[in-house]
Amino acid sequence: MRRNFLLFLCVVLTLGSGRSGTMNGQDSSDFRVVVSMVQLNVAVTDKNGNYITGLHPEDFVISEDGIAEKMATFAEGSAPARSVGGAEVPVAQPSEGGSDGTLNSMIAGSEIFVLFDTSNYMYRDFVFAQDAIAEFVRSLGSADKIAFYSYSRDLLRATSLTADRGQVLRGVRSTVAGDSAALYNALLLTVKDAAQTTGRRFVVVFSNGPDSSSVVPPEDVAEMAQSAGVSVYMISTQEAKLEPISTAVFERMTAQTGGKAYFAKSWKDERRAFASIRDDLAHLYNLSYYPKANPNTGWRSITVKLAGEKYGKYKVRTRNGYRLQPTRFSAPRKTSALDTQPAGSN
Amino acid sequence: MKRRFFLPILVVGLFACASLSATGPLDVQPLPAASTVSPSEDRASSPQDFPIPGPLRSFLRMAGISQQIPVAEVLPSLSWNVSALGFQGSDRPTEFLVLLKRYVVQARELSELAGGDGVIRVSNCEEAKPLLRILGYRTLGQCGEQGTSLLTADAERAFLTVDSGFPLTDLEQTLSGGKPFEYPYPSTRVPVLFAENDWTTASSKNHIERSRDLLDTILEDRSMSRLYWAVSKMDPQTAIYLRQNVGIRKLLAYAPLLDFYGTHLCIRNGHVLVPGGSSAERAWEDLAGASPAAPAEFIPRLLLKDKGWLVAYFDVLSIVNSKQQTEFTEPKRLHRFYDALRPPDRSSNAARGVFRPSPWLLLLVSQTHWDQNAQPSVPGSLDVWKEFLKKDSSRAVREREKNYPAKTPEELLEAMFARARKETDTGTLQAYITLVDLDSKRSPAHRLSPETARLMIQKFADYSDQYRVFSEFPELSDASISLFLETAEELAKVPNAVRANALGIMQANIGLWQILARQGQIASADLDDSWQNAVKPFAHIRAASELYDAARNSLSQLSRASIGKTAISQDDLIELLAGPRQTTIEGKRIHREMADRIRSVLNGQRIVSLDTLTVLGDALKSKESGTTPPDYLFNVAGELHEFEMPQPMFTKGEREEWAARIYNNHHTDLQMRSNVGAILKSPKASRSQIEDARGQLTSFLRDTLVALNYAYYEPPGAQALHNNPLFVRSHDFAGETVEGIKSLWQAPQLFGVGYPAGGGAHLVGSLADLPYVLADLEQDFIAPKNTQALIWKELVPSLLTSAVLPRWWNVSSTEMHAVTLYQKAGEELLTASANDEGLRNKVMAILSDRVLPRRSGEVEEAMRAGQVSDIISKMMPADTFYLAAEFERRYPNEEASSGDAGQELARLREHHPEEVSWKRLSQDFGVPHPTLGQTYARELLNVPPLPAFSGYASRLLGESWDSSNLYWARLADETGRSPAELNVLVPELTERMVEKIFATDFEDWPAILRAMREAGDEFRQNKMALLTERPAQ
């Protein structure tokens, strides 16, 4: 019988407790940070890029800022997550957590947000890109949920997270060519939507590359994705490879978040890239841990290694850290329920 | 208020220009309702409508037209899109037009395929072949079996297929063995203005190819598409007259002029109705060279005179209210002002470009104030203006002014007309308009002195955006104005290393003063003193530590003026900015929420607390005098280093190559190198080191104070404020990151948009106009709800600003209820007008102040036809509000016209005359007009929808929308919300409204109204989850 666990056990740490006294007798420089359980999507490959399967929890060594961490849950591929080493993972309280934050959400497959560039940069490849995305959507496992968004100057939430492939495909085919490109604005909103969900969360970006209208830089988006545990995959058309800025961003953002970048020279390459992403999602390990006490209130680096020399030849890919969200002045903002509602179609 | 509605074009506007002595209706027949037709029926269609091939939805997608548009608007909107977006250079079609034309071809092919009954049917793979060829797709996999999908075969056709929204997914299901595919593919008849051949035969393009129909004509003939659009906006009676008496072919030559200036042309009883009425007819006849009594002669001459400048003059005078019309159309004035305006040579064309030129002509005519002797008011003195007129403008103007040396106020005004065509935002004319308006708000005893006026004109080019605060607070004396300008000039002398922080801190404190003054937290009597006290400390800054002291001193003065004590903590300040202290549970909850929002931005920006900066500064000061700081302060100083730059994605070299001068974090770099903690700790620190450490705090203090300003004006849906921690820190007050910034004290400009290696967008310049600039920056994070929603980028920042800047802490429930009653009473008047011609004439006369002639005609016709409820749902709330208020003013004794709401309003007025007064409601529920009125004070201006201008003046359009806050107030009142709740409801409802906007062109006002009502309806039906939910009872 499946047990429900509360995944997001919030640990409220008071940092800076070594400080004492204040201007008025209290130390106002103390502030709270909320540290949730940290989830990692981890790919292990050999030198040829082949996935290494069948690893066990004890094969992984996780550390945060050099502090060894104890794994709480482990899963391979789409298999159910299980608690590790007697880690105490509290049973979910339905009245508090509902379905969110339970292991159920982790074992129900991945939650994949597809973000499609419909800006004028994409114009020439628009129809081929749609074909490739449609094929990708059809090919995903039935347990996966997909949201389909598109962007040019603005973000359009064409289809909200759903397991209904027909609905997603209609969203894909309903896109229209737009104008200027605000990739990082749109990606920020997409990552924030993904961060609202639980389980294995991925964003797949299909873009020509250039950004002409964003006001937020890719660094902030990458940090948001890293901090939320959202892996970002980016497929670019050939032009992006020729455009060094986008190439740099695509490669680095995906590396930082544990995803992958692809530069497709043709629509066949685009299809291959999508196939590779699908393959990647099917072979990821999902690990989690509760961070041990750590005075660092800023950026925390994460390292995942394989234990033992026999695994030394393998490559491990996951996000490389996260940033705590400071709450010096107040609790974080509430999020409106309407923020992630789907757009209608015309 | 606005121009386009669902009624067929020819039946509307029978009584347009009602306020300008309208006569009876013409004998015209209404159009049949729009309907769908099969191809076989096309040939039999009425000459007054036209079949658009294929589903209308697809056509609208391809033509860039809102899906929500009434069918009567399809051809006018198409015409506008084609003329404005369809061509580049000399008639070379844009990609938009190329695709649209290709789509029309594809749609005709598909219509043919659909056959007589207009349905495309496919039940097997064989039948699909011709369809797939047209669509540009092929099957992948074994057709007919599970898993068959479609792949692009012909990219050009496939693009049209998906872009027009063909249901490919359904077809794929059929080809995978699913149920037969049936897709209705009807043409849709849409109304045609006049008859199709009016347009097709008049087009010179069709002489080459006569088979072209109306759609082809619009797509091929740029002039014709512009004329179609222009005429469709005109008063229908006038349009019919012109068609019959001038002819479409001749009108083609006037298409650009009719587009810009045609909406106010009105013919009634064989006369062109002119601004100023019958008494001005003679003067207009002299100017045009033809009598208004001969419209077929008068209008062409009016249009062509001086390359359109006479009709531009005519149009502007038509827009302004009747008082201004009367003043400006006094025959001598009309002549002399036009003589000044008209171009001295033939080079200037009033119809050039996509947008109307010369917004300043409109502002000059609308903003001119008259003294008690009906003379134009003169801020300062005539002599002051003469000084500047001599230095300004072209040789031709100066030559002209040798004969008219501005010896009288009228001659001064005339000199301003001579400058109204000049394309500048900072000339003498602009200074005149600003100062006239500013001066008019001051009491007669406190008009601007000549010296102050001289100073303000002198510095106008550098400080004009700062003058808004003096207009908003006329209590500020000449001394305050001078002090500000002198202090600002002094800051230019501050050493480079200190200047940016000095500029930022002084402006941030002024910004805080402005907020507290606006919220009534600084008593009116203390405004002038508190301003000076806040500004004075910055007068003689030379070192960073002096700046630190000045900043603290200035802030203490603000604190003293608002809460009566000089010490103020971070929390005190946030609570103050959140609004006046509340006593009710609901008020306290809302207040807390407002404070939390400010804190949320401070968190996002990872700002150092004001308390930390205060205590560290005090400790350093004490250390200077030999007091050893307590140990805990070493940890407190650690807070200065908690901020970390985002994890880098680019190398330094890449930044320099890919974002030269855009990426500049000099300010943050210096902060990271600060050594305040070490100096505090060091027993050997020298006096100068301690002094230097105190100076280091200024850059943190700047960020904290500036962030409070940013946070206060946070637009709904903002993301940069929460997710780019460099945003506030990157504000470039000293112009270090860009070249070519003319003045650092003018409204900030946005840089770094679309530069991935640039570290994010940032502002360069001052904090003036911050509410609008932030709204402009954050607006693109509002995600539209509709596919291909065309959100009106030019309007949204003004909408957001009008939602964020007003606060409703000092508004009573009585006031809010009065806003509801005014709107309802206006609706009652409209209803009562349906069967009362006398009342209807009065109502239409009032509405004509705010409503364009065409719209006015639609309203009146709907009332005659008994379609009042329909027209009410399409009335702007500001129109019904104004109607009731103005009706009461003009006809105070006509209670017989009052319905229930009107009577309740009368009782309310009797008991609460102040709260129900127009002045009070205008101040509390109006919107700011920083461009139109040069102030952020709220006001209901009662202007008709203003036309689109380019550049800075494009904001005029958005500022003429003043319905939202009135509507939200009514919504809150009718759903039992308190006025305090408006503080959080209005921004959220406005965000929801913006998400729903689905507009076609710049002036698609009905789209804004639809979006607002949709948001309101969802709120009423509890379908909207808002951030601000009331706690469960």
Provide the ipTM: 0.91
Q: How far apart are CA B416 and CA B376, in angstroms?
A: 12
Residue whose pair of structure tokens reads 């045009």 in the numeric block: B288
Q: What is the 3-state secondary structure (H, E, C) of chain A?
A: CCCCECCCCCEEEECCCCCCCCCCCCCCCCCEEEECCEEEEEEEECCCCCECCCCCHHHEEEEECCEEECEEEEEECCCCCEECCCCCCCECCHHHHCCCCCHHHHHCCEEEEEEEECCHHHHHHHHHHHHHHHHHHHHCCCCCEEEEEEECCCEEEEEEEECCHHHHHHHHHCCCCCCCCCHHHHHHHHHHHHHHCCCEEEEEEEECCCCCCCCCCHHHHHHHHHHHCEEEEEEEEHHHHHCHHHHHHHHHHHHHHCCCEEEECCHHHHHHHHHHHHHHHHCCEEEEECCCCCCCCCEEEEEEEECCHHHCCCEEECCCEEECCECCCCCCCCCCHHHHCCCECC
Tell me the residue type at B58.
Answer: S
Q: How confident is the model at residue A10 (pLDDT cuts 50, 70, 90)?
A: very low
Q: Which of A18, A20, A328 sits opposite B603 (nearest CB)?
A: A328
Nearest partner of B33 among B185, B184, B188, B187, judged by Cα: B188
Judging by beta carbons within 10 Å of its beta carbon (0-12, 13-18, 19+), is residue B291 exposed, middle or buried?
middle
| DSSP classification of residue B927 | E
User: Tell me: the pLDDT tens digits for B182-229?
Assistant: 999 999 999 999 999 999 999 987 766 656 799 999 999 999 999 999
In 10 A of CB B336, how many CB atoms?
17
User: Tell me: the pLDDT tens digits for B360-381?
Assistant: 999 999 999 999 889 999 999 9
Tell me the chain A residues in contact with residue B136 when contact means C-beta distances shorter than 8 Å. 127
| DSSP classification of residue B987 | H
pLDDT of residue A341: 36
The CA distance from A81 to the nearest CA of chain B, in Å, is 31
Q: How confident is the model at residue B352 (pLDDT cuts 50, 70, 90)?
A: confident
Lowest average pLDDT, out of B79-83, B228-232, B386-390, B606-610, goes to B386-390
Average pLDDT (B827-845) is 92
Q: How far apart are CA B997 and CA A178, in angstroms?
A: 16
Q: How far apart are CA B15 and CA B858, in angstroms?
A: 8
pLDDT of residue B125: 92
Q: Is the pLDDT of residue B104 over 90?
A: yes
Average pLDDT (B174-188) is 93
User: Tell me: the pLDDT tens digits for B53-77?
Assistant: 999 999 999 999 999 899 999 999 9
Q: How far apart are CA B756 and CA A218, in angstroms?
A: 6
Average pLDDT over chain B, rounded to whole?
90
Buried b (16+ CB within 10 A) or exposed e, B812-846: beebbbbbbbbbbbbbbbbbbbbebeebbbbbbbb
pLDDT of residue B999: 87
Contact B155 A127 (CB under 8 A): yes
The tokens for B539 are 């007068």
Helix (H) or strand (E) holding B840: helix B837-847
Mutation target to probe the A interface, by most A beta carbons within 10 A, among B96, B135, B151 is: B151
Helix (H) or strand (E) holding B1008: helix B1005-1020
Distance of CA B525 to the CA centre of its chain: 33
pLDDT of residue A103: 40
Tell me the chain A residues in contact with residue B987 when contact means C-beta distances shorter than 8 Å. none
Lowest average pLDDT, out of B349-353, B417-421, B652-656, B674-678, goes to B349-353
Q: What is the 3-state secondary structure (H, E, C) of B489-521?
A: HHHCCCCHHHHHHHHHHHHHHHHHHHHHHHCCC
User: Tell me: the pLDDT tens digits for A302-339?
Assistant: 999 999 888 889 999 999 999 987 666 654 444 443 33
Closest alpha carbon within chain A to B617: A23
Q: How far apart are CA A179 and CA A176, in angstroms?
A: 10
What region does B17 belong to: left with phi over 0, alpha with psi -120 to 50, or beta? left
pLDDT of residue B325: 93
Q: How far apart are CA B493 and CA B499, in angstroms?
A: 8
What's the Cα-to-Cα distance from B9 to each of B222, B239, B313, rounded to whole Å? 22, 11, 27
Residues A164 and B775: beta-carbon distance below 8 Å: no
Dihedral of CA atoms B987, B993, B994, B998 in degrees, nearest 10, equals -170
Cβ contacts of B857 within 8 Å, gap of 6 or more: B12, B13, B14, B15, B16, B17, B235, B236, B237
Helix (H) or strand (E) holding B880: helix B877-890
Q: How far apart are CA B195 and CA B239, in angstroms?
A: 13
Q: Which of B173, B638, B658 sits opposite A245 (nearest CB)?
A: B658
Average pLDDT (B309-313) is 96
Q: How confident is the model at residue B1026 (pLDDT cuts 50, 70, 90)?
A: low
Q: Is the pLDDT of residue B608 over 70?
A: yes
Q: Is the pLDDT of residue B763 over 60?
A: yes
Closest alpha carbon within chain A to B164: A176
Domain boundaries, chain A: 111-282
Q: Which of B152, B165, B756 sits opposite A174 (nearest CB)?
A: B165
What's the Cα-to-Cα distance from B693 to each of B622, B679, B704, rounded to whole Å? 13, 7, 17
The CB-side HSE value for B880 (13 A sphere, CA atoms) comes to: 30
Q: Which of A130, A169, A220 sits opposite B646 (nearest CB)?
A: A220
pLDDT of residue A15: 25
The runs of H, that is alpha helices, within B519-569 are 527-535, 544-563
Cβ contacts of B670 within 8 Å, gap of 6 or more: B696, B699
Highest mean pLDDT among A98-102, B536-540, B952-956: B536-540
pLDDT of residue B40: 43
Q: Which of B595, B647, B782 sits opposite A299 (nearest CB)?
A: B647
Closest alpha carbon within chain B to A23: B615
Q: How far apart are CA B656 and CA B647, in angstroms?
A: 18
Q: How confident is the model at residue A77 (pLDDT cuts 50, 70, 90)?
A: confident
pLDDT of residue B450: 98
Q: Is the pLDDT of residue B767 over 60?
A: yes
Q: How far apart are CA B604 and CA B643, in angstroms?
A: 11
Average pLDDT (B878-907) is 90
Contact B724 A216 (CB under 8 A): yes
Beta-ladder partners of B52: B188
pLDDT of residue A328: 66
Beta-ladder partners of A301: A321
**Own/partner long-range contacts of A81-87 (Cβ < 8 Å, ≥24 apart):** A81/A106, A81/A107, A81/A286, A81/A288, A83/A5, A84/A57, A85/A57
Q: How confident is the model at residue A80 (pLDDT cuts 50, 70, 90)?
A: confident
The CA distance from B153 to the nearest CA of chain A, in Å, is 10
| DSSP classification of residue B187 | E
**Own/partner long-range contacts of A299-302 (Cβ < 8 Å, ≥24 apart):** A299/A323, A299/B644, A299/B647, A300/A64, A300/A65, A300/A324, A301/A64, A301/A65, A302/A38, A302/A40, A302/A62, A302/A63, A302/A64
What's the Cα-to-Cα distance from B14 to each of B243, B319, B640, B858, rounded to whole Å? 16, 20, 70, 8
pLDDT of residue B799: 95
Q: Is the pLDDT of residue B675 over 50?
A: yes
Q: How far apart are CA A137 and CA A172, in angstroms?
A: 9
Contact A224 B760 (CB under 8 A): no
Residues B755 and B777: beta-carbon distance below 8 Å: no
Average pLDDT (B270-295) is 95
B617: three-class secondary structure by DSSP = helix
| DSSP classification of residue B765 | S
Interface A–B counts its CB contacts (< 8 A) at 240
Q: Is the pLDDT of residue B24 over 80?
A: no
Q: How confident is the model at residue B89 (pLDDT cuts 50, 70, 90)?
A: confident
pLDDT of residue B211: 64
The tokens for B396 are 């031709």
The CA distance from B4 to the nearest CA of chain A, in Å, is 22
Residues B449 and B478: beta-carbon distance below 8 Å: yes
Strand arrangement, sheet containing B36-37: B36-37, B187-191, B49-52
Q: How confident is the model at residue A343 (pLDDT cuts 50, 70, 90)?
A: very low
pLDDT of residue B946: 85
Residue whose pair of structure tokens reads 């699908």 in the numeric block: A278
Q: Which of B607, B761, B1025 sits opposite A336 (nearest CB)?
A: B1025
Nearest partner of B662 among B778, B770, B754, B780, judged by Cα: B754
Dihedral of CA atoms B664, B668, B670, B676 in degrees, nearest 10, equals 180
User: Tell me: the pLDDT tens digits for A190-242?
Assistant: 999 999 987 789 999 999 888 999 999 999 999 999 999 999 999 998 666 67
**Residues written for chain A:** 346
User: Tell me: the pLDDT tens digits for A98-118?
Assistant: 333 334 444 457 899 999 999
The CA distance from B575 to the nearest CA of chain A, in Å, is 12
Tell me the residue type at B370.
Answer: W
Residues A79 and A53: beta-carbon distance below 8 Å: no
Closest alpha carbon within chain A to B996: A343
Phi (first) and psi of residue A259, to 5 degrees: -100, -155
Closest alpha carbon within chain B to A249: B649
The CA distance from B97 to the nearest CA of chain A, in Å, is 14
Tell me the chain A residues in contact with residue B783 when contact means C-beta distances shorter than 8 Å. 154-157, 189, 343
Phi (first) and psi of residue A271, to 5 degrees: -65, -40
Q: How far apart are CA B784 and CA B792, in angstroms?
A: 11
Topology annotation, domain A111-282? Rossmann fold (3.40.50)
Mutation target to probe the A interface, by most A beta carbons within 10 A, among B647, B719, B776, B1030 is: B647
Distance of CA A23 to the CA centre of its chain: 42
Q: Which of A178, A189, A245 sits opposite B783 (nearest CB)?
A: A189
Nearest partner of A300 among A31, A27, A62, judged by Cα: A62
The runs of H, that is alpha helices, within B625-760 are 632-638, 652-658, 666-672, 676-681, 687-712, 720-723
